[in-house]
């Protein structure tokens, strides 16, 4: 996730910085294919192999996201390559009481199977796993918890491109525990590439990228994780039928061990904390 910069954009950047201290509202109802790739700092800048992988062989996840209704659906939650069960959509319905999970699988004969069950409890602030699930948390880190809920509100404007696309970034330096018991400062950059503004619409996130520096290595040695939202992007509202079982299909009680719970722990990012500030979207 990155950009060129021109002199005319510099004027617009100064104007925006003088009038805005917080990032603009973003669209939180959409369908898209997230294309994801990552690279590590072993050989230098991990964004170089990550960008190459994004172009040639990304991990793909289909996503239906509706923050206003507290629900989302996704395929391939772990961003595996290839997707282990490509014909399953996992749907989290936080608008239900209790919050429910619905897993829909399309079979080879064209029919569907459906399982549903309450979403599991999540970790509480004191560390016990006993608090009810809330929107923004699904088994661990997913790109909704931190990307939209925690990191974005902390960003500041980095640059404006010629077409008025914007890049917003938050740099976070955090003491991090090492295996030997010591703490070192790790620098993480969370970067958002926003589409140009359009009339009466919230901004669209085209791409999200986060990097982290490696202690004791040159500054350009960084791990890099890229999530591109642009493929087949459709702004919401999402079709209401997306949140219902397929026609002529009855959902059966789910079996927790049969669902792909481990796959929801993305290999791209560390576990994180739940969405803590929903008011930022208003």
Query: Would you write out the chain's pLDDT as a tens digit for each of its 282 residues?
Result: 222 222 222 222 223 333 357 899 999 899 999 999 999 988 789 999 999 999 999 999 999 999 888 888 999 888 888 888 878 999 989 899 999 999 999 888 889 999 999 988 877 878 787 888 877 654 444 455 567 767 888 899 999 988 889 999 999 888 888 888 888 888 899 999 999 988 767 899 999 999 998 777 776 789 999 999 999 999 989 999 999 999 899 999 976 444 333 333 333 332 222 232 333 222
pLDDT at residue 140 in the model: 46
Domain membership of residue 279 (yes or no) is: no
The parent domain of residue 49 ranges over: 7-266
Residue 272 CA to residue 197 CA, distance in Å, equals: 30
Specify whether the CB–CB gap between 188 and 160 falls below 8 A.
Answer: no
CB contact set of 130 (below 8 Å; sequence gap of 6+): 121, 124
For residue 281, the tally of other CB atoms under 10 A from its CB is 16
Classify residue 86: in a domain, yes or no. yes
Question: Residue 2: what pLDDT?
Answer: 26
Pairing status of strand 166-177 against strand 156-160: antiparallel
In a domain, 171, yes or no: yes
Would residue 183 count as lying in a domain?
A: yes
Q: Cα–Cα distance between 53 and 220 in angstroms, integer?
A: 19
**Measured distance CA(35)–CA(56) in Å, rounded:** 11
**Residue 208, domain member (yes or no):** yes
Residue 281 falls inside a structural domain: no
Please report whether residue 210 resides in a domain: yes
**What is the pairing mode between strands 252-253 and 112-118?**
parallel
Query: CA 154 to CA 127: how far, in whole Å?
Result: 25
What is the per-residue DSSP string for the chain? ------HHHHHHHHHHHHH-SSPPPB--EEEEEEEEEEE-GGGSBTHHHHHHHHHHS-EEEEEEEEGGGTEEEES-TT--SS-SSTTEEEEEETTSSS-EEEEEEE-TTS-EEEEEEEPPPEE-TTS-EEEPP-TT-SSS--HIIIIIIIIGGG-EEEEE-TTS-EEEEEEEEEEEE-TTS-EEEEEEEEEEEEPPP-TT-PBPEEEEEEEEE-TTS-TT-EEEEEEEEEEEEEESSPPGGGGSPPTT--PEEP-GGGS-TGGGS-TTS--------GGGG-
Say how far apart CA 207 and CA 168 lie, in whole Å. 11
**Residue owning tokens 């982290």:** 212
Q: Number of structural domains, the chain?
A: 1
In a domain, 72, yes or no: yes
Note the pLDDT of residue 259.
39
């Amino acid at each position: 996730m990155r950009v060129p910069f021109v002199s005319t954009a510099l004027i617009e950047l100064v104007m925006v910085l003088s009038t805005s201290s917080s990032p603009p509202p973003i669209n939180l109802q959409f369908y898209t294919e997230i294309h994801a790739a990552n690279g590590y700092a072993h050989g230098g800048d991990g964004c170089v192999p990550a960008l190459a992988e994004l172009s040639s062989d990304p991990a793909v996840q289909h996503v239906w996201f509706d923050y206003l209704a507290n629900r989302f659906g996704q395929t391939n939650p772990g961003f595996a390559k290839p997707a282990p069960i490509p014909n399953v959509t996992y749907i989290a319905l936080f608008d239900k009481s209790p919050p429910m999970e619905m897993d829909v699988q399309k079979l080879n004969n064209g029919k569907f199977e459906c399982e549903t069950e309450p979403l599991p409890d999540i970790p509480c602030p004191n560390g016990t796993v006993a608090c009810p699930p809330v929107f923004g948390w699904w088994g661990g880190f997913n790109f909704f918890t931190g990307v939209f809920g925690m990191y974005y509100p902390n960003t500041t404007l980095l640059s404006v491109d010629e077409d008025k696309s914007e890049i917003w970034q938050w740099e976070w330096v955090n003491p991090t525990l090492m295996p030997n018991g010591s703490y070192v400062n790790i620098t993480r950059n969370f970067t958002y590439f926003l589409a140009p503004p359009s009339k009466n619409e919230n901004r669209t996130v085209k791409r999200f990228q986060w990097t982290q520096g490696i202690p004791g290595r040159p500054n350009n040695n960084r791990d890099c994780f890229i999530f591109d939202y642009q493929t087949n992007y459709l702004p919401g509202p999402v079709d209401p039928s997306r949140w219902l079982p397929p026609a002529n299909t009855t959902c059966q009680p789910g079996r927790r061990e049969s669902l792909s719970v481990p796959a929801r722990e993305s290999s791209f990012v560390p576990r994180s904390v739940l969405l803590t500030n929903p008011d930022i979207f208003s």
